[in-house]
Amino acid sequence: MIPAWVDGTLIPVEKLAAHQRGLRHLAVSIFVRRRGKILIQQRAMGKYHTPGLWANTCCTHPEWDEPPLTCAQRRLNEELGIAGLTLTHRGQVEYRADVGGGMIEHEVVDVFVAEADDDMPLAPNPNEAMGVRWITLADLHADIAQNPARYTPWLRIYLDEHATKIFGA
C-alpha cells in the first residue's frame, strides 16, 4: 500500500490501483552520480508499465508511513544492490504522465542525489533492471532528444523541467 490522495485525504492505496486511477501519490527518485556521470537503469521487461525503457538510477513508492529517505535507501539496495551511500534530498517535484496501458503516474516525488565511489558494487536485480549504464548529463539530454521513446516519461520530465533543482545545472 502506498500513500495516495483520495478526495483530498492521504490514504493507503494499492500501487497498481493508484496508477490505473491516476491518483496523486507519493514517490521517491534517486540519481546516483560518479565522476560527472549519472547511473541510469533499463527497466526489466516484467514491469507492469514502461518495461525496457531507461529511467533514472532508481524510483519507487514509499510504503504507508515509510519516510522518503528510508524508502530511497531500501529501494536502491533492492533494485541495484547499492548500500551505504549518503543521499542528499533535493526537494519535491510533482508531475503527471501517461505511462501507457491506460495508466497515469501523478506523483509527488522526493528527489535524492548521491555521489558514488569508483568501486561502488552494483548487483542489479533482474526483476527490476535489465541493464545499467553511466552517462553524462549532456549525453543523456542529447540521446533523449534523438530517441525520446527509449526513456521513461518521468526521466524526460525531470531533465526538461527540474534539472536545475536536481543537478544544480
pLDDT in tens, 8-49: 999 999 999 999 999 999 999 999 999 999 999 999 999 999
Q: Angle of helix 153-161 relative to helix 137-146, nearest 10 degrees?
A: 120
Q: What pTM does this model have?
A: 0.95
pLDDT digits (tens, 9 = 90+) for 77-111: 999 999 999 999 999 999 999 999 999 999 999 99
Average pLDDT, the chain: 96
Residue 82: which CATH number? 3.90.79.10
Catalytic residues: 59, 107
Cβ atoms 108, 24 nearer than 8 A: yes
Calculate what percentage of the chain has a pLDDT beyond 70: 99
Residue 75 CA to residue 86 CA, distance in Å, equals 14
Cβ atoms 18, 25 nearer than 8 A: yes
For residue 140, the one-letter residue type is L
Domain count, the chain: 1
Give 169's pLDDT tier (boundaries 50, 70, 90). low
Which residues form the domain of 66? Answer: 2-167
